[in-house]
């Protein structure tokens, strides 16, 4: 039996542990449309923004939940609200600026305006002129606000949900990931800036990438070439009970051990040299700032967010989908308000490692596009997800694993109504 989830699209997951992913799941516009409802608007908490981005009453930012434009703003009492950026009347974008400070959100089309909670507060010419024109007498503004999201925050990180039934944010995150949020946001933050990247591939190829520590030391060769870190170093993956989130972590002090047994896995590749040195290694320095020894910690929060610590380079990433074959990554880089000028400079230089031009991350854009181009036309074939073994999805104590990918897909299938491995 195949997974029939939208009437026409049928893709067979041959293995119950999601160790095979049908390519059609990355290609099909029907799957994509269904994801908007069942994943992004499903029982999840989507990362929206940081409170530090909207510190004052009236401050707003327009962000993305899947492909949906969402206004996040702060009301006069300091409370955070989020609502779909689409006018209740004719469906136009209401707030055209992507950030700013507003007294209200007014649609330019017919000047309907909404307060910071999304309530419709003004309709010009509602009663017409001289008893002629206007809306019917029984039109009730209270029934025509902007569609609201539920909002919960943790340590100044704002999450939103369309679901009335989703569990509380901290339960959704699980202790592991609630702790990761608290770890990165233990102090008031200062936003350093944004980076945006458009990748011409399916968004799940990127969430797969985030849950595949095994590629780190094989595709991203900056660290290997310059002798900074390698797969044989200390690291692993931590998951929540369902396996939907993933923390890829590494704890490496300076140059990883070179030569000997730890290099044997690189035989057959041209990627084990480690002999070349950087002329200015200063940006690689890690200034210890967390109680633990993690030097790399990427928390991928289901469905489309990631918290990033690459040394002292800190950011939050938000995936904004555009179609089955296109998505954006919007990253908000930050430091802390108590950083001195030297620490800020260090973080800004360290940002060379991350983002679309990142010395250890630029390859992800290429890898996603290589897969998306190559699988076109073969929706019924599938990828192999077996590093780290088959079956149960659990924490991994090494980096040679893509088990967390299967955790994502198992939860994804559950929300989409797919039973992987069912039947033949």
Distance CA 167, CA 58 (A): 29
Under rule CB under 8 A, residue 352 binds another protein: yes
Q: Could you tell me the smallest distance in angstroms from the CB atom of residue 195 to another protein?
A: 6
Under rule CB under 8 A, residue 373 binds another protein: no
> Within positions 267 to 306, which residues make up the interface with another protein, using CB under 8 A?
276, 278-280, 283
Under rule CB under 8 A, residue 255 binds another protein: no
> Can you tell me which of 36, 225, 394, 398 binds another protein, judged by CB under 8 A?
225
DSSP, residue by residue, 357-396: T-TTTHHHHHHHHHHHHHHTT-TT-EEE--TT-SS----B
| E runs forming strands in 155-312 | 157-161, 189-199, 235-239, 246-250, 296-301, 305-310
**Neighbouring-strand partners of residue 29:** none
> Within positions 198 to 217, which residues make up the interface with another protein, using CB under 8 A?
198-200
Number of residues counted as binding another protein (CB under 8 A)? 40
> Can you tell me which of 157, 301, 319, 351 binds another protein, judged by CB under 8 A?
351
* Closest C-alpha to 401, from 291, 252, 247: 247
Under rule CB under 8 A, residue 194 binds another protein: yes
Q: Given the rule CB under 8 A, which of 19-27, 37-45, 249-257, 356-364 is the region that contacts another protein?
A: 356-364
Look up tokens 């074939």; give the residue: 381
Under rule CB under 8 A, residue 366 binds another protein: yes
In this structure, how many other beta carbons lie within 10 angstroms of the beta carbon of residue 196?
Answer: 11
CB nearer another protein, residue 160 or residue 365? 365
Under rule CB under 8 A, residue 222 binds another protein: yes
Binding mask 318-337 for another protein (x = CB under 8 A): ----------x----x----
Under rule CB under 8 A, residue 193 binds another protein: yes
Distance CA 237, CA 248 (A): 5
Under rule CB under 8 A, residue 69 binds another protein: no
CB nearer another protein, residue 110 or residue 198? 198
Look up tokens 């011409």; give the residue: 200
* Closest C-alpha to 253, from 285, 299, 220, 219: 285
CB distance 74 to 116 below 8 Å? yes
Interface positions with another protein (CB under 8 A): 99, 191-200, 219, 221-222, 224-226, 276, 278-280, 283, 328, 333, 344, 348-349, 351-352, 355-357, 359, 362-367, 369
């Amino acid at each position: 039996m195949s997974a029939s989830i939208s009437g026409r699209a049928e893709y067979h997951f041959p293995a119950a542990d999601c160790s095979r992913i049908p390519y059609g799941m990355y290609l099909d516009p029907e799957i994509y449309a269904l994801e908007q409802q069942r994943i992004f608007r499903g029982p999840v908490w989507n990362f929206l923004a940081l409170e530090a981005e909207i510190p004052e009453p009236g401050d707003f930012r327009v962000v993305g939940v899947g492909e949906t434009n969402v206004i996040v703003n702060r009301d006069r009492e300091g409370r955070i609200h989020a609502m779909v950026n689409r006018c209740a009347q004719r469906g136009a974008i209401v707030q055209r600026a992507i950030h700013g400070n507003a007294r209200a959100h007014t649609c330019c089309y017919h000047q309907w305006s909404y307060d910071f909670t999304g309530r419709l507060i003004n309709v010009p010419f509602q009663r017409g002129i001289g008893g002629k024109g206007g809306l019917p007498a029984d039109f009730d503004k209270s029934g025509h606000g902007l569609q609201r999201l539920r909002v919960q925050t943790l340590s100044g990180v704002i999450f939103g949900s369309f679901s009335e039934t989703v569990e509380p944010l901290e339960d959704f995150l699980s202790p592991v990931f609630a702790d990761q949020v608290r770890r990165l946001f233990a102090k008031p933050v200062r936003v350093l800036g944004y980076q945006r990247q458009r990748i011409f591939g399916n968004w799940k190829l990127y969430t797969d990438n985030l849950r595949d520590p095994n590629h780190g030391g094989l595709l991203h060769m900056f660290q290997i070439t310059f002798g900074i870190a390698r797969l044989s170093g200390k690291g692993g993956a931590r998951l929540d009970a369902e396996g939907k989130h993933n923390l890829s972590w590494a704890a490496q002090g300076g140059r990883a051990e070179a030569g000997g047994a730890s290099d044997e896995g690189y035989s057959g590749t041209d990627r084990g040299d480690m002999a070349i040195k950087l002329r200015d290694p200063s940006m690689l320095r890690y200034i210890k700032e967390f109680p633990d020894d993690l030097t790399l910690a990427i928390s991928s929060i289901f469905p489309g967010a990631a918290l990033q610590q690459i040394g002292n380079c800190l950011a939050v990433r938000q995936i904004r989908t555009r179609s089955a074959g296109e998505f954006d990554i919007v990253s908000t880089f930050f430091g802390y308000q108590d950083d001195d000028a030297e620490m800020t400079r260090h973080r800004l230089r360290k940002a060379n490692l991350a983002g679309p031009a990142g010395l250890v991350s630029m390859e992800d854009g290429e890898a996603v596009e290589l897969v998306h181009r190559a699988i076109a036309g073969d929706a019924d074939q599938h990828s192999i997800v077996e590093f780290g073994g088959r079956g149960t999805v659990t924490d991994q104590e090494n980096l040679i694993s893509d088990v967390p990918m299967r955790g994502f897909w198992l939860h994804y299938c559950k929300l989409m109504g797919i039973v992987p491995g069912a039947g033949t």
